[in-house]
Structure 1
């Protein structure tokens, strides 16, 4: 199952703090196009019916079935640049 670093959990909590339903809001990672050639990340107020839900330290990530398979052994990290823009990075677990 996808894991979240402390940085990723904090970034997700920051992004969803002003959402209409912060108690259920998170980010959703979904596949785009044929197969798993591209994954997209968006804010979501709740999971879709088939989504896997990853929760860590108050942060929620919703994964569509393809994304859940692709990211099963991965970790999600986050960082911010000098302007405060957040970027997410997928790494191998344990790195």
Structure 2
């Protein structure tokens, strides 16, 4: 199952709380039409008030992520990290979990 670093959890929580006050809101990670450089799915994020009916919901220490089917499969054994640059732009990184 997807896990989050402490940075990612804090950043996702901040993003969600700044964009909506819906009590069940979270960050939705979903696949896009375009493919990545190696032909894999490209993923996009957006703040959502509720998950879509088919989304997998991942909750870690109060941080909620909604993953569509492709994102759930692609991120199943990964770690999500996040950072904020000097200009306030958020970036996400996905790394493999160490067994």
What is the TM-score of this pair, normalised by structure 1?
A: 0.89
Deviations 1:6-36 (A, max 9, x none): 1000001101113130x21111111112785
Q: Is 1:10 aligned with 2:18?
A: no
Residues 1-95 of structure 1 correspond to what in structure 2 (within 5 A)? Answer: 1-18=1-18, 19-21=20-22, 23-33=23-33, 36-94=40-98
- Between the two proteins, the alignment pairs up a number of residues equal to 94
What root-mean-square deviation, in Å, do the aligned CA atoms of Structure 1 and Structure 2 show? 1.8
SS in 2 for 1:17: helix
Q: Structure 1: which 5+ residue stretches go unaligned?
A: none
Q: Structure 2: which 5+ residue stretches go unaligned?
A: none
Distance 1:37 1:14 in 2: 26
Moved segments of 4+, more than 3 Å: none
